[in-house]
Chains A and B, each alone.
Chain A
């Protein structure tokens, strides 16, 4: 079977150690986490977590069921094959000189990214989108010399009432 990227979203109790329980379970069941993003949800006391893992469907279903058994996990679903919206945020610090600054600005424009910090010899750029978009912006900026990158990892929600 095919190992593809799966997106799992989980509603979890906001209690100490929950993130540790979840990441430890992935490790123990022999899964590598591509990305994990956690933050508060619409319900006070509960967080929503988006986890991206690679595996075939049966393997991922097995780990999903194991996650669902954790006492602090209220609900967890594999939303890979349902209609979803996904976004990732990245901050990119890129070298910029008087000569390259306007060229960079043009690229950023095309990607609807923003410059959020300007320094004498660098720019910090904020970009939001799916991972492919973030990847391609990073690729384009590489020619100018990237100093630092930080990415949030994927966050996802199902579309409409799904």
Chain B
């Protein structure tokens, strides 16, 4: 039977199991929107800015491990998606972004709202399509989901001219994708597994660095088995949080720029680093020339291009982590590393994380810790970028996979609110907290309206230090406390929230923290708390940018000028 392009699109989305689409209308997508009511299986969430559509789809995708879908009109709608697409690209999140395009005859004519969105997004997509014939649409959608969700996941863009949405074609759903250039799950090299097992079995001070790849591969069981059998201490990257339960005796927190001192010390003193599903980002490694100086490095990743990209490794294993660990687990010995682990515990004892100080006012760390306690660690924390993100990473103990959702690679302020919407829609029974900085909150604040309209019952905590806190911290430490435009005037967030129809509380003292969190949790709908915390509180420990993991700053120091 013949169907319009828009119908073929919707049919194909339904076939892919899509349940929700985040988007905003516009001239070039009207045929799609006009068709949507024929497919009640496809829930549409009307956001207030396309960037939020992409972030919401991103949050949804991280939780469900299925591609999130966002939809925007041509021109400004499409360009507004770009930050969200880039964010998904940097964090390997499966996303299918659908954009309307001006009708085919107008392409190349600088028509109203014509933008070359496939061109603009080229460096930040895994793949993209400009569909020229409605007969191609079913195949394109199938390929797009396949590419987005398999191998190392990523965003795929589908740009559909208006006439292609309107014109008719026979709807034939292809049962196979034809992608001769798409290399899927490489076969694991058996010789490398044997060599890796030998190194692991011989190591005396091994450390595992767990990355987001473990979560993407859903290899938690295999990972845990690996760690417990070999008794190797685990540290994680920022996005690796949740890959291993942080309440486990072998868990030693996060490494890197704001990692735990003991995690970094473990890495710097290790004789073997087993890096799993991570990409040696500079925020995790610090200066690579002094990274893990005593260690051989074993790197397991699905993407061959990650091997040797940022540093030289001794043994690479390319493959899906679940497969690799399943094979590797059979080869490794049951071991103990009693002395080594007690050494790391000793460091942990000497350099503990503290979430409060007697002399201080309301500290952000204190707030995060109370949210942790009152949710019994079962909340999903969706963070902004900056200090709030680091405190949320440090002071909440993450046990479940996907309990920490954050913009790691791109570091996109404003990610938290729309991403939390996507997360909550994916898992409506979970308690979802959006942890925002007062700066970042105002970058996607318009989504308060979406949250109200759709009654998305997330809890919002603004860690309000009346500053672009993380940048202020850098100015304090590296620019002699010359605060250039990092101190903020803010609106009354409680009033703003109430204006959006979301009840809210302001908290200025420690004693108010617990009751406020209780109020938020007891309320059935969305709720906001504006935590007025100390303005000049810093995130510690810290490795100065460009420095090695051994140069840990644990106390506020005023340091020399620097040029980054």
Residues of A39-90 contacting chain B, CB below 8 A: 46, 58, 61-62, 65-66, 68-75
Question: Which of B127, B179, B180, B304 has a CB less than 8 Å from the CB of A68?
Answer: B304
Chain A residues with CB under 8 Å of B307's CB are 65
A71 touches B123 (CB 8 A): no
Question: Which of B122, B147, B304, B309 has a CB less than 8 Å from the CB of A71?
Answer: B147
Knowing A70-B181, A71-B181, A72-B181, the reply to whether A62 touches B309 (Cβ < 8 A) is: yes
Count residues of B near A (Cβ-Cβ below 8 Å): 19
B305 touches A13 (CB 8 A): no
Contact of A12 with B by CB under 8 A:
yes
Query: Smallest distance from the beta carbon of B532 to chain A beta carbons, Å?
Result: 43
Per-residue CB proximity of B183-221 to A under 8 Å, as 1/0?
100000000000000000000000000000000000000
A13 touches B181 (CB 8 A): yes
Query: Smallest distance from the beta carbon of B145 to chain A beta carbons, Å?
Result: 13
With both beta carbons as reference points, the residue of chain A lying nearest to B126 in the complex is identified as A71
Chain B residues with CB under 8 Å of A68's CB are 183, 304-305
7 A–B contacts from the bound complex (CB under 8 Å): A12-B181, A16-B130, A58-B308, A62-B308, A65-B305, A71-B179, A72-B181
Contact of A159 with B by CB under 8 A:
no
Residues of B115-133 contacting chain A, CB below 8 A: 118-119, 122-123, 126-127, 130
Knowing A12-B181, A71-B147, the reply to whether A17 touches B130 (Cβ < 8 A) is: yes
Query: Smallest distance from the beta carbon of B144 to chain A beta carbons, Å?
Result: 10
With both beta carbons as reference points, the residue of chain A lying nearest to B154 in the complex is identified as A69
Contact of B182 with A by CB under 8 A:
yes
Contact of A20 with B by CB under 8 A:
yes
When chains A and B are docked, how far (Å) is the Cα of A61 from the Cα of B305?
9
A73 touches B308 (CB 8 A): no
Chain A residues with CB under 8 Å of B308's CB are 58, 61-62
Query: Smallest distance from the beta carbon of A11 to chain B beta carbons, Å?
Result: 8
When chains A and B are docked, how far (Å) is the Cα of A58 from the Cα of B304?
13
B304 touches A65 (CB 8 A): yes
Chain B residues with CB under 8 Å of A70's CB are 181
Chain A residues with CB under 8 Å of B119's CB are 20
When chains A and B are docked, how far (Å) is the Cα of A75 from the Cα of B180?
9
Count residues of A near B (Cβ-Cβ below 8 Å): 23
Contact of B303 with A by CB under 8 A:
yes
Chain B residues with CB under 8 Å of A72's CB are 181
When chains A and B are docked, how far (Å) is the Cα of A58 from the Cα of B310?
11
Chain B residues with CB under 8 Å of A112's CB are none
When chains A and B are docked, how far (Å) is the Cα of A137 from the Cα of B179?
44
With both beta carbons as reference points, the residue of chain A lying nearest to B156 in the complex is identified as A71
Chain A residues with CB under 8 Å of B147's CB are 71
When chains A and B are docked, how far (Å) is the Cα of A69 from the Cα of B306?
11
Contact of A24 with B by CB under 8 A:
yes
Query: Smallest distance from the beta carbon of A29 to chain B beta carbons, Å?
Result: 10
Chain B residues with CB under 8 Å of A16's CB are 130
With both beta carbons as reference points, the residue of chain B lying nearest to A69 in the complex is identified as B305
Other CB < 8 Å A-B pairs besides A16-B130, A65-B305, 12 of them? Answer: A12-B181, A13-B180, A17-B130, A21-B122, A24-B122, A62-B305, A62-B309, A65-B304, A66-B305, A68-B183, A69-B303, A74-B181
Per-residue CB proximity of B158-181 to A under 8 Å, as 1/0?
000000000000000000000111
When chains A and B are docked, how far (Å) is the Cα of A13 from the Cα of B180?
8
Pairs of residues from A and B, 3 with the lowest C-beta to C-beta distance, nearest first: A65-B305, A74-B181, A71-B127
Chain A residues with CB under 8 Å of B305's CB are 62, 65-66, 68-69
Per-residue CB proximity of A1-37 to B under 8 Å, as 1/0?
0000000000011001100110011001000000000
When chains A and B are docked, how far (Å) is the Cα of A68 from the Cα of B127?
13
Chain B residues with CB under 8 Å of A75's CB are 181
Residues of B11-37 contacting chain A, CB below 8 A: none
Chain B residues with CB under 8 Å of A24's CB are 122-123
With both beta carbons as reference points, the residue of chain B lying nearest to A28 in the complex is identified as B123
A74 touches B304 (CB 8 A): no
Residue from A12, A13, A69 whose CB has the most chain B CB atoms within 10 Å:
A69
Knowing A58-B308, A69-B305, A71-B147, the reply to whether A17 touches B180 (Cβ < 8 A) is: no
When chains A and B are docked, how far (Å) is the Cα of A74 from the Cα of B119?
21
When chains A and B are docked, how far (Å) is the Cα of A133 from the Cα of B540?
63
Residues of B97-148 contacting chain A, CB below 8 A: 118-119, 122-123, 126-127, 130, 147
Chain B residues with CB under 8 Å of A69's CB are 183, 303, 305
With both beta carbons as reference points, the residue of chain A lying nearest to B312 in the complex is identified as A58
Chain A residues with CB under 8 Å of B127's CB are 71
When chains A and B are docked, how far (Å) is the Cα of A25 from the Cα of B308?
18
When chains A and B are docked, how far (Å) is the Cα of A6 from the Cα of B548?
34
With both beta carbons as reference points, the residue of chain B lying nearest to A74 in the complex is identified as B181
When chains A and B are docked, how far (Å) is the Cα of A61 from the Cα of B309?
10
When chains A and B are docked, how far (Å) is the Cα of A68 from the Cα of B130?
21
Query: Smallest distance from the beta carbon of A52 to chain B beta carbons, Å?
Result: 21
Chain A residues with CB under 8 Å of B182's CB are 71
With both beta carbons as reference points, the residue of chain B lying nearest to A58 in the complex is identified as B308
Residues of B292-309 contacting chain A, CB below 8 A: 303-305, 307-309
